[in-house]
Homo-oligomer: A and B are copies of this chain.
Amino acid sequence: MRVGVLGTGMVGQTIGTKLVDLGHEVTMGSRTAGNEKAADWAAGAGEGAREGSFADAAAHGELVFNCTAGTASLDALRAAGEEELRGKVLVDVANPLDFSKGMPPTLSVVNDDSLGEQIQSEFPETRVVKALNTVNAAVMVNPVAGSSIFVCGEDAAAKEQVAGLLQDFGWRAEAIVDLGGIDAARATEMYLPLWLRLMGALGTPNFNIAIVR
């Protein structure tokens, strides 16, 4: 499959590399084609890895991952272009964490709205699935055994496709919890403050939560 990965940070690189390893053709997008981090990644990630602008990556992908910083995601998606994203599944991995006022970060959108909803609202013909934003990049593609991962979105078929991809990443089908519509993005984004505190208490970002009954 052709996949666009928007964002050149740890999350974009980790997901991009995993997708290449799984045999997908991946274009990593950044604000301007030729971005140094993206070029380094493309050179090292193996056959099937390319880089370009946000619009290049979105145009390339049958499916697109938003791995940009949450507070920059809407701008990045506007640069990618409504046309290039139309009808496609967009996996929104970002969290709207605002580090500008120091630590711990706050959420730039919260409570009665979320980044996932803002994206779906601004790109109504794109099928947004919020997923993977509750774990560290390393855990996204190397799941902690027995732990849970959440998906939400308006399009059932899109969620199924993403669930299939998550299983390719190593998540067991039983680990994947469908929380419903895209407004559930509020719930998974608002979990981030707890995730950050747990990272501090545990001394590692390599953990996850499991639902226990």
A176 to chain B, nearest CB (A): 11
B179–A201 touching, CB < 8 Å:
yes
The answer to whether A187 and B179 have CB atoms under 8 Å apart is no
Task: Check A184/B197 contact, CB under 8 A, given A106-B112, A111-B107, A112-B106.
Answer: yes
Measured CB to CB, the closest approach of chain B to A149, in angstroms, equals 12
Return chain B residues, CB-CB under 8 Å to A196.
187
The interface residues of chain B lying within 8 Å CB-to-CB of A104 are: 183, 186
Contacts of A187 in B (CB 8 A): 193-194, 196-197
CB neighbours (8 Å) of A210 from chain B are 209-210, 212
Q: Does A44 contact B (CB under 8 A)?
A: no
Selected contact of A146 from candidates B179, B190, B212, CB within 8 Å: B212
State whether B180 touches A197 (Cβ < 8 A): yes
Q: Are B202 and A206 neighbours in the complex by a CB distance under 8 Å? A: no
Q: Is A33 an interface residue (CB 8 A)?
A: no
A187 vs B197: C-alpha distance when bound (angstroms): 7
Q: In the complex, which residues 143-170 of chain A have their Cβ closer than 8 Å to any Cβ of chain B?
A: 144-147
CA distance A121 to B39 in the complex (A): 51
Which B residues are in CB contact (< 8 Å) with A207?
Answer: 211-213
Is there contact, CB below 8 Å, between A144 and B212? yes
Residues of B within 8 A of A191 (CB): 190-191, 194
* Chain B min CB distance to A31 (Å): 28
In the assembly, what is the distance between CA of A201 and CA of B152, in Å? Answer: 11
Among A112, A188, A197, A207, the one with the most B-chain Cβ atoms within 10 Å of its Cβ is A197
What are 20 A-B pairs at a CB distance below 8 A? Answer: A104-B186, A111-B111, A144-B212, A146-B212, A177-B198, A178-B201, A179-B201, A180-B197, A180-B201, A187-B194, A187-B196, A187-B197, A188-B194, A190-B191, A190-B194, A206-B213, A207-B213, A208-B212, A209-B210, A209-B211
